[in-house]
Amino acid sequence: MSTQFDENDIAQYLEENPDFFKNHVGLLASMYLPNAHGGGTVSLAERQQAAQRDKIRQIEHKYSELLQIGIENDGIGNKMHQLALSLLQAKTLDETVDTLTQTLQNDFNVPVVALKAWIDTDQNHAVFGEADEQLQAWLETLPEPYCGSQPDESILNASNSNAKSYAVCALKNPQIFGVLIMASEDEKRFYPGMGTLFVERIGELASAAIQKYIA
C-alpha cells in the first residue's frame, strides 16, 4: 500500500531536512519553475539568481538613498556651523537678528523668518514686545518644534504670512521667552513627522544669541 503525500508534507519534509538538495545535487539542477514574468520556465538556479539580483538592486537603491541623506546632512551641518560662528561674531542685536534672518533665508532657503521675544529688557527693538498669552500657552504644549501646515492662529498673526507650511521653535532659557517662526509657500517644505533635529538646533542657537541682550 503506497503512502500519499501532499505538497504540505513535502514542504515540511524539506524544511526538516535542509541537506536534502545537498545530497541530491542532480535533482536540484534539473528542476524548472514557471517564469514569474511569463513565457515558459526557468531553472531553480536561475530563479534564485534572479531573486538575488533583485535583492542586490534593492540594497544598492537603499544605499544610494542613505548616501544622499548623509551628503545632505553634512551640508546642513556645515551651514549650522557657519550660522553659529556668524551669531558669535555679531556685536549688536540688530546684527544678530539680521544674521539669523538672512542666513535662514539665503543659506537655508527659508523665505519667511519671524522672531519674537517677550522678556523685560532695555533694548528698543521690534523683536521685543508684550507677551502673547495665546501663543505662549500653545508653545508650552509642544514637546518638540512644530512642523506642519496648520499652526495655532497666533502663529499666523506673529509671522504676518500666508505661507503654506511652518516650522516653529520656542526660544528658551530654560523657560520659554519667545518664538522663532520659519515658513514657506511650499506646502511640502515643513510637514508633520519630519525630522526636527536641525530645526531644534536652530532654535537653540537663536535662543542663545538673543539671551545676550536680555537685561
Phi and psi angles of residue 166, each rounded to the nearest 5 degrees, phi first:
-135, 150
Q: What is the pLDDT of residues 177-213, one digit of tens each?
A: 889 999 999 999 999 999 899 999 999 999 999 888 7
Say if 127 falls within a structural domain.
yes
Residues 101 and 43 in one domain: no
C-alpha distance from residue 143 to each of 181, 196, 213 (Å):
16, 11, 26
Confidence of residue 90 (pLDDT cuts 50, 70, 90): very high
Q: What is the pTM of this model?
A: 0.67
Q: For the chain, give the mean pLDDT.
A: 82
- Shared domain for 172 and 207, answered yes or no, is yes
- pLDDT tens digits along 160-171: 677 889 999 999
Q: Is residue 145 part of a domain?
A: yes
Residues 23 and 56 in one domain: yes
What percent of the chain clears pLDDT 70, i.e. is strictly above it? Answer: 81
- Omega before 151 cis (within 30°)? no
Is the pLDDT confidence value at 134 over 60?
A: yes
Domain end among 46, 73, 100: 73
Give yes or no for a contact between 100 and 203, defined as CB atoms under 8 angstroms apart. Answer: no
Are 100 and 183 within one domain? Answer: yes
